[in-house]
Structure 1
Amino acid sequence: MKKFLTLMLLGSSAVTAPVMSQDDNKRNDIRYNLNESGSHYVKFTFTNQVWLRLNDNNPGTTVLSDAESNTFDIGLRRTRMQLFGQLTDRIFFYTQFGMNNFNKVSAFPGYNTAGTPSQRKIAAFFHDAVGEYEVQRKGNSFIRFGGGLTIVSGFSRFSQPSIGTIMTMDVPVFAQATVDQTDQFSRKLTVYSRGQIGKLNYRIGIADPFPVETSGSTPAALNQNSVFAQRKHGKQFQGLFIYNIFDTEDNTTPGYMTGTYLGKRKVLNVEAGITSQKNAMWRKEAVDTLYSNMTLWSVAAYLDMPVNAEKATAVSAYLGYFGTDYGKGYLRYNGIMNPATGTTQPIAGVGGTQGNAYPMFGTGNVIYAQAGYKLKDGLLGNQGTLMPYASLQRGDYDRLQDAAHIFNLGVNWLMKGHNGKLSLNYEDRPVYRNASVANELEKNGRRGSWTLQYQISI
């Protein structure tokens, strides 16, 4: 018994002892080294994002059957745990467990569960479970093959974001194009290869999408507008290629791409990506059922670098163009952690228009840009510094008579970098209604929301 307790104490101290990690932050972390050099290790992380939000609701919004023009809600945007490690020079594993979008109505029957009785004890789930094997490494260049449940994607940088290092308060979710339709919160069962060859970073993969019937909601009825097909299931092909003009980026975990390095690296990238699936969509025309391919592609540039080394100021910016072809007439509303449960003013041909929702996904194109500036270290004394930012999203979808413009302005209080961060954000979004032209939507004003997020990440 004495031997057993001694081993437990030694193991505990090994896990929690300050060991300098090899990631970009060069910070102490919860890590157990498997060899003396620390090149073989197992690491644990935890991230929690708490939201306090005041939302100006869309017209007709109801919350638990009561009409509500404004709502204040408290929620957990993300609560995640990661366990991953380099077991040998060639073998790497990665897992992530957690939950998302948990507020007072997230388990409301008929809201997320299509009328199926549910309860507030929402089960957390595995987001990722991946194994990788490195076939070649020379300096910073490497080639790896992997497989499992993963967010590795071809569409764009923000299709696989590192949520703990986001510069804006939240990611541009439109880039997670099939989220909770034919994937598990943007993750799919995938075999892939990723690597760094000189200045070129790549990831290519073949995914087996989930049937849309397993999304937890009743699939959209077959009609004149394209929706995800329930027949002719096929594989999905992914490819993302990034050219690093200056520094290469952190490649520790599969998929997840850093939001901002806070000036720790000098990064300027250009990228191009594509996601394609044959017969992914279907629609009805007269008595015929027509299938169409889903093709999503993007080109973008990403900048993140120090401005003044002495003051530790830094700039971060992104500009991307996205072609989104889901088939004729596809349009889907989405509201992040929606605070509402229904509407008295439905819009024909789309659902879920209450609360803070807007047309987030559709056939057409999107331009997305963001920029931020990290002020000098110690701006607030020993309480950290600030990083103001802004973003613009323009969704020009076929069924919208006027493009959807979404503006975000905010500021991060970086108490301890991304490990302790308070973010205040204002979002301004469009509101739509049925247009005089059948199957089209026209603008009907704008609404806004204020959100305060407290993030703790270790």
Structure 2
Amino acid sequence: MKKTSLILMGLLLSCQLFFAQGIDEYTGGYKVKFNEDGSKYLRIIAWGQFWAQYDDNAPSTDSKLDLSIRRARILTYTQLNKKFLILTHFGLNNLNGNNTSPLGYGENSQLFFHDFWGEWALTDKHSAGFGLHYWNGISRANNQSTLNMLTLDNNRQSWATLGLSDQFARHIGVYLKGKIGRLQYRVAYNEANASTLDTRDPVVDATTVYGGRTILGSGDAGKVIQGYFDYNFLDEESNFLPYKVGTYLGSKKVFNVGAGFFNHANGVVESNGEGADVTILAVDAFYDAPLGGNNDAITAYAVFQNNDYGQDFRLGPYATGNMFYTHVGYLIPGDKTKTRLQPYVSYNNSQIDAIDDNSTRLGIGGNIFLTGHHSKISVEYTNTKIGSADATGLFTVQAMIFL
């Protein structure tokens, strides 16, 4: 592991030296203006995240070092006037040596729509939309942008329905979003997916299964409702798009407190063959602000989440029980036009009903901003312990480019 870690760190330092004098060249993004004042436009955003992971606990037949493309995405949105907008977001996730396709198509093809929705302005502060969308409930972390996270990746359990009732944290449905004074809101009424990561049989396997729509039918288990509400005490954040910023790098002074929910009637089927509701509730707080006069800043987030997937439900990162998650990062003072450093720490404690025990996850890492969020290197070590099992460690290096 030491040899591999030295190689990875060497690559990391090489990248840092190469990009050390990078200046932000991407202010405004790729925006195609259709009129002189830019009110009619098309904007195109592209980003990629590239991972190298070392897992000392990998099976003896597997490589301990894995290289992958964590995300490859393209997002476009356009407005011909302020009354309507259309957004398209497509790409792939977790492309690696085990799931690439010989010719780029077939059952291993991963390119798909993440978002596709249309939106109509009802008033200056309130809008309605329809489509495959990311206007989620529960918490800020369940609406997290992947462009500007503090930690190397989002807290996995915060995406609490990913692959269970939705397509990669997105549902097809209708949403309302807007502002009432300093209170921002988003609520949605959506279709639940028939396909799900949970392919177990509740009766045969004697367990609770997240497959209500498939087993009970769309009439009883076909819809979900969700919402999130946050109050902006200091600088107001934009809610033009649903993606919540992870760290502003001291460019804003933000303090928000929020609460949200998710409900899927008969979303799960328990071992007796009867349906049960899925209800997830959360409260959270987010603080991001500059500190002194040397361009340093702090970012902090905390969320408490109650997960009710039915009696003793457990599947991978999902489990009935309570979760507390927090992270804190500090942007070290420095010249904004040069390389910036931001160490951080994260902690997750989850109570799991199915094993009557807890799981914990400690993350220690940092970001090296070569050109802000547009070009950065992130490193993170996580230590995870579930119940009485031995703790496992994972070391990840990420390189990211966002245009």
* Residue among 94, 97, 112 paired with 1:101: 94
Match of 1:353 in 2: none
Task: Pick closer, same or farther for the CA change 1:328–1:107 going to 2, 3 Å.
Answer: farther
Match of 1:352 in 2: none
2:57 corresponds to 1:74: no
Deviation at 1:234, TM superposition (A): 2.6
2:316 corresponds to 1:366: no
Letter in 1 for 2:285: A
1: CA distance, partners of 2:95 / 2:123: 42
* Residue among 136, 149, 159 paired with 2:142: 159
Match of 2:8 in 1: none
* Residue among 390, 393, 397 paired with 2:352: 397
Match of 2:279 in 1: 295
* Residue among 232, 236, 240 paired with 1:244: 232
1: CA distance, partners of 2:379 / 2:186: 34
1: CA distance, partners of 2:117 / 2:130: 6
Deviation at 1:49, TM superposition (A): 0.2
Would you say the 8 A contact 2:198–2:315 is kept in 1?
Answer: no
Match of 2:37 in 1: 37
TM-score of the two chains, using structure 1 as the length reference: 0.77
Runs of at least 4 residues off by over 4 Å: 118-121
TM-score of the two chains, using structure 2 as the length reference: 0.87
Would you say the 8 A contact 1:107–1:119 is kept in 2?
Answer: no
* Deviation sequence 1:113-161 (CA, Å, 0-9, x none): xxxxx96852301100011111111xxxx10000100121111111121
Task: Pick closer, same or farther for the CA change 1:218–1:178 going to 2, 3 Å.
Answer: closer
With 31-40 and 146-155 compared, the bigger mean Cα shift is at 31-40
Match of 2:400 in 1: 455
| 1:181-260 equivalence runs, <5 A | 181-211=164-194, 214-215=195-196, 219-223=199-203, 224-228=206-210, 229=212, 230-231=215-216, 232-253=220-241, 255-260=242-247
Letter in 1 for 2:64: T
Q: What secondary structure, in the 3-state scheme, does the structure 2 residue paired with 1:277 have?
A: strand
Match of 1:331 in 2: 314
Match of 2:21 in 1: none
Task: Pick closer, same or farther for the CA change 1:277–1:47 going to 2, 3 Å.
Answer: same
Match of 2:50 in 1: 50
1: CA distance, partners of 2:33 / 2:71: 28
Q: Report how many aligned residue pairs link the two structures.
A: 368
Deviation at 1:201, TM superposition (A): 0.4
2: CA distance, partners of 1:165 / 1:416: 12
Task: Pick closer, same or farther for the CA change 1:99–1:72 going to 2, 3 Å.
Answer: same
With 218-227 and 241-250 compared, the bigger mean Cα shift is at 218-227
Structure 1 regions of 5+ residues with no counterpart? 1-24, 109-117, 334-359, 432-441
Task: Pick closer, same or farther for the CA change 1:218–1:315 going to 2, 3 Å.
Answer: closer
1: CA distance, partners of 2:318 / 2:100: 23
* Residue among 248, 263, 267 paired with 1:276: 263
Match of 1:436 in 2: none
2: CA distance, partners of 1:191 / 1:377: 44
2: CA distance, partners of 1:218 / 1:325: 16
2: CA distance, partners of 1:181 / 1:204: 19
2: CA distance, partners of 1:126 / 1:191: 17
Q: What secondary structure, in the 3-state scheme, does the structure 2 residue paired with 1:399 have?
A: helix
Deviation at 1:188, TM superposition (A): 0.8
Q: What secondary structure, in the 3-state scheme, does the structure 1 residue paired with 2:154 have?
A: coil
2: CA distance, partners of 1:304 / 1:264: 9
Structure 2 regions of 5+ residues with no counterpart? 1-24
Letter in 1 for 2:326: A
Match of 1:409 in 2: 364
Deviation at 1:35, TM superposition (A): 2.5
* Deviation sequence 1:194-239 (CA, Å, 0-9, x none): 011210000011010111xx24x67111143211122132310111
2: CA distance, partners of 1:119 / 1:103: 15
* Deviation sequence 1:78-131 (CA, Å, 0-9, x none): 1100011222021111110100011112369xxxxxxxxx96852301100011
Task: Calculate percent identity across the aligned residue pairs.
Answer: 29
